[in-house]
Structure 1
């Protein structure tokens, strides 16, 4: 289990009726910070190993991973990057994305905790 805290939300990170959110660590470039939710892990070097069936909690809301792209774990462990998709897994899913169920966007606020349970 690894926990992060949302420390910033870019002005274009949350788009109404768009069921996804892009996450990055604090070292994201200025351009990325405009379109991303910035998370800071409590562990210095997180060792995240998500797979189908893992859980992700946003605040007190729990989601199950229905698909975890092959780039997700390396990206999360390296630069805190992943895309959370709150929609059904498409025929060609994004390899940097985590598809989650239930398929409802939880909303994000600075100070929220995200817990990765694998």
Structure 2
């Protein structure tokens, strides 16, 4: 289990697309508006896999697919794109979760990867 904390929410990071873009503290300035910025709270490596869970505060999501680069990118630069949908696509840095409803997020909220 790995825990991160949301430190910033871009003004256009949440819309009706059912997608969230996560980045770590080293995010490029031009991506801030469309991203959720997080920092690691624990030292464990993120190792999400199908059947795992992604938890935003107390909102639990089931992982249905993890792109081949998602865990590596999360561990190196805190980046992944989360798709809230049942269908699993082919985007290398994607995490596919259900339910299909975006979580209610806020600065200071913990994200648990398990």
Shorter-chain-normalised TM-score: which range?
over 0.9
Aligned position for 1:113: 110
Q: How far does residue 5 in structure 1 lie from its aligned partner after superposition?
A: 0.6
CA distance in 1, matches of 2:32, 2:71: 20
Report the Cα offset of residue 108 of structure 1.
1.6
Correspondence for 2:5: 5
Q: Please tell me whether the aligned partners of residues 22 and 82 of structure 1 are also in contact (alpha carbons under 8 angstroms).
A: yes
Q: Please, which of 91, 94, 99 is the counterpart of residue 97 of structure 1?
A: 94
Gaps of 5+ in 2: none
Structure 1 partner of 2:71: 73
SS in 2 for 1:108: coil
Which whole-Å CA distance do the structure 2 matches of 1:88 and 1:63 have between them? 11
Total equivalences in the alignment: 114
Match of 2:51 among 37, 42, 53: 53
Q: Give me the CA root mean square deviation.
A: 1.2
1:11-66 per-residue CA deviation (whole Å, 9 max, x = no partner) reads: 11111x210000000110101112100011113x5411111001111010111110
The residue aligned with 2:20 is 21
Q: Match of 2:38? A: 39
Give distance in 1, aligned partners of 2:86 and 2:52.
16
